[in-house]
């Protein structure tokens, strides 16, 4: 079945026209051309979606976990059946190369598949209080979960939050990113066609100050999951604190990538390139700070420069190595960093390819770039969120550790070494929620993911996520003793 683009909301199991007449245009970052006119959901629109979820929740929470799992399995299968069409929409909306977009679709399917299998395996415990009591715990759903998404990987990150929330008996209201809203209503429609009851999953498009704020503040929302910037994360955390509801925050990163002299340098080069060019550098877990041990610094940097100079840049539908920056605002931000390099004390090792802009004058293209900069440079301290890598050298393990941890972020980190003792010892001291050793972007939907420090609160992915979408109920029964 061919997918028809949905540019309106999806509420109570059907495409829904919002009450708000305010709309905005979203663009194709590969060409700069307008893709669609999208509504801005009002507070009343959000209330309508949340009410639909509230109405659906009692029956969904009472549905047997195995039955919920079967619906999630069907959703995973349907996503795979429509993989090419979903990937094409994701590529148009975000500029992703088709190979990456197809990968995101498969990851989305895996989230539903994984949590389908976990739905009936979340067990409580029995607590020994003596013969006169029977005490036990159970994991209970919150009710309605509000999910606010970013624009860099909208489909797979939607699945990352929706699947565990549904598996544990919650209903969900999603606000997609303003700049990448097209795949989420389609996901909800596919879920409905797979037997998901009306109201269990709702999508309301809009902006942060209007729609996002309304979702966080709605009295029917019992938990919020947000992925995005640290600045907006703080705003959402304050709003959630006022309501005393739990919040999960997956925020920014400025992740260190440490290459020791005993590493397999060819392998480390490939991993380093992936770490900074994946999704055009638009990933919170990008390896954007590279530290190289001094004896191999010049050699490794020369190898890296040669490899990075071969990266192709172009429209996502042409499937280059990296596509455009996804939004005009982010494109301007990356350009501002590059323009201020000299002022920030950053020296170019590999500069942006200027021919990219000549070939696609209306697209948001930035080629991969490498800069050397001091630790106090803006290039080292701030998240650029583009294919811009900053490098530095170190001479001892202690110095490497100090450089790696010298940041307000703590999402991921990478270590390249052939010494297993060093790998274990060094990794255990990194202030990061996830550590890669001799690879980058390893693991999968099974591995818990989230940040330390300013990189966030809570965990997504893996069985750990189920604990964040449920709350503990403890029951103590008094048993008469004869």
| pTM higher than 0.85 | yes
Structural domain boundaries, residue 404: 256-444
Rounded average pLDDT over 24-45: 95
How does residue 355 score in pLDDT terms, banded at 50, 70 and 90?
low
pLDDT of residue 273: 98
d(CA 288, CA 387) in angstroms, rounded, equals 8
Torsion, Cα of 346, 351, 352, 358 (10° steps): 130
226, 285: one domain: no
Is it the case that residue 80 has pLDDT exceeding 90?
A: yes
109, 247: one domain: yes
pLDDT of residue 443: 87
Interval 120-160: pLDDT, tens: 999 999 999 999 999 999 999 999 999 999 999 999 999 99
Of 250, 293, 383, 460, the active-site residue reads: 250
361, 470: one domain: no
Is it the case that residue 1 has pLDDT exceeding 60?
A: no
Using alpha carbons only, what angle is made at residue 339 by residues 335 and 345, rounded to the nearest 5 degrees?
125
pLDDT of residue 354: 63
Using alpha carbons only, what angle is made at residue 191 by residues 35 and 41, rounded to the nearest 5 degrees?
50
Q: Is 284 annotated as catalytic?
A: yes
Domain of residue 343, CATH code: 3.40.309.10
140, 156: one domain: yes
Of 284, 293, 383, 460, the active-site residue reads: 284
136, 277: one domain: no
440, 462: one domain: no
Domain of residue 32, CATH code: 3.40.605.10
């Amino acid at each position: 079945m061919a997918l028809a683009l949905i540019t309106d909301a999806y509420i109570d199991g059907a495409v829904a026209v919002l009450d708000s007449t305010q709309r905005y245009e979203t663009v194709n970052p590969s060409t700069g051309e307008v893709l669609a006119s999208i509504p801005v959901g009002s507070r009343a629109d959000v209330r309508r979606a949340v009410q639909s979820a509230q109405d659906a929740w009692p029956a969904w929470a009472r549905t047997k976990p195995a039955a919920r799992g079967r619906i999630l399995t069907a959703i995973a299968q349907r996503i795979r059946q429509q993989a090419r069409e979903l990937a094409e929409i994701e590529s148009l909306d975000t500029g992703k190369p088709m190979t990456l977009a197809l990968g995101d679709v498969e990851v989305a399917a895996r989230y539903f598949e994984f949590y389908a299998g976990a739905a009936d395996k979340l067990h409580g415990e029995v607590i020994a209080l003596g013969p006169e009591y029977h005490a036990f715990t159970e994991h209970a759903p919150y009710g309605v979960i509000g999910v606010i998404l970013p624009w860099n990987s909208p489909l797979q990150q939607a699945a990352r939050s929706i699947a565990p929330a549904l598996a544990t008996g919650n209903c969900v209201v999603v606000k997609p990113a303003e700049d990448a809203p097209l795949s989420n209503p389609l996901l909800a429609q596919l879920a409905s066609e797979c037997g998901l009851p009306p109201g269990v999953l709702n999508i309301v498009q809009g902006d942060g100050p209007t729609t996002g704020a309304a979702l966080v503040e709605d009295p029917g929302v019992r938990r919020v999951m947000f992925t995005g910037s640290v600045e907006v994360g703080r705003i959402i955390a304050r709003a959630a604190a006022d309501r005393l509801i739990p919040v999960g925050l997956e925020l920014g990163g400025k992740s260190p990538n440490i290459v020791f002299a005993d590493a397999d340098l060819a392998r480390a080069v490939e991993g380093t390139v992936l770490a900074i060019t994946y999704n055009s550098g638009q990933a919170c877990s990008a390896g954007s700070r590279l530290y190289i041990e001094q004896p191999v610094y010049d050699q490794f940097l020369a190898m890296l420069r040669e490899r990075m100079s071969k990266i192709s840049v172009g429209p996502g539908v042409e499937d280059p190595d990296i596509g455009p920056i996804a939004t005009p605002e982010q494109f301007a931000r990356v350009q501002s960093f590059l323009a201020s390099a000299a002022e920030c004390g950053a020296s170019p090792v590999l500069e942006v390819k200027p021919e990219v802009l000549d070939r696609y004058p209306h697209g948001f293209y930035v080629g991969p770039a490498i800069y050397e900069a001091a630790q106090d440079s803006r290039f080292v301290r701030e998240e650029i969120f583009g294919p811009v890598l900053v490098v530095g050298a170190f001479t001892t393990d202690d110095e490497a550790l100090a450089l790696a941890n010298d940041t307000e972020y703590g999402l991921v980190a990478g270590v390249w070494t052939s010494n297993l003792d060093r790998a274990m010892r060094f990794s255990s001291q990194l202030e990061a929620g996830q550590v890669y050793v001799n690879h980058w972007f390893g693991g999968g939907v099974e591995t818990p993911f989230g940040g330390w420090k300013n990189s966030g609160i809570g965990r997504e992915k893996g069985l750990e996520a189920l604990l964040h979408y449920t709350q503990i109920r403890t029951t103590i029964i008094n048993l008469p003793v004869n």
